[in-house]
């Protein structure tokens, strides 16, 4: 036979869990930040936002500034290059080390390629700082593609780079890739790494 005191204690404990668990869960949810669904521009500090500028139509580019580009802008920039590599990436994943863009730049230049690193969004931007002085950094202009969702504007950007219809969907087996090789301004192939 169970004592009344034990029953009361169990009842209090179960009531405690009924009230404390949802409150604790609500606190955890409030402190979480979901990133990667959009460009994550609104998660940047004011100092980081001041580094982002539209690509100027004419004039010189400054290292340390991140320029917003459409695929058309990028294709115009790399048109005069004999060979160029566009590196499409997101530094936001903490599971992977941030890419060493200075190292990639040096490897591309040594191989005779012009190097264009392009961010898919702003998540994890602080993992790249300080920005290099030997290369320029670009980010996909989500406003140009008129969608706040990263998966859509990234697909539009990649398709435009490859000369495909902008809204064409990837096939299930297709990897959009990260290193795009261009020869005389035209997309040639995807590369697993810089040759």
Full residue range of the structural domain in which residue 1 is found: 1-32
Instruction: Residue 33: name the closest of 128, 97, 154, 122 by CA.
Output: 122
Same domain, 28 and 71: no
- Quick count: other Cβ atoms within 10 Å of Cβ 129? 12
Q: CA neighbours within 13 Å on the CB side: how many for 68?
A: 16
pTM, two decimal places: 0.78
Higher-confidence position of 33 and 141: 141
Same domain, 80 and 57: yes
Same domain, 184 and 160: yes
Same domain, 47 and 25: no
CB-count exposure of residue 140 (10 Å: 0-12, 13-18, 19+) = buried
pLDDT at 97: 72
Tens of pLDDT, residue by residue over 136-165, are: 999 999 999 999 899 999 999 999 999 988
How many structural domains compose the chain? Answer: 2
């Amino acid at each position: 036979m169970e004592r009344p005191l034990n029953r009361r204690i169990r009842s209090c404990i179960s009531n405690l869990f009924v009230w404390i668990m949802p409150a604790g869960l609500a606190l955890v949810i409030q402190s979480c930040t979901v990133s990667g669904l959009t460009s994550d521009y609104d998660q940047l500090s004011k100092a980081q936002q001041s580094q982002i500028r539209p690509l100027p139509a004419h004039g010189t580019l400054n290292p340390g500034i991140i320029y917003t580009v459409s695929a058309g802008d990028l294709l115009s920039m790399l048109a005069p290059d004999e060979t160029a590599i566009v590196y499409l990436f997101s530094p936001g994943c903490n599971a992977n080390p941030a890419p060493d863009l200075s190292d990639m730049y040096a490897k591309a230049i040594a191989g005779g390629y012009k190097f264009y690193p392009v961010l898919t969004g702003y998540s994890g931007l602080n993992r790249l700082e300080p920005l290099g002085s030997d290369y320029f950094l670009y980010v996909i202009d989500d406003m140009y593609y008129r969608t706040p969702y990263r998966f859509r504007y990234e697909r539009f950007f990649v398709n435009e780079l490859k000369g495909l219809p902008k809204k064409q969907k990837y096939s299930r087996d297709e990897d959009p890739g990260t290193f795009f090789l261009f020869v005389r301004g035209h997309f040639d192939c995807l590369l697993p790494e810089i040759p």
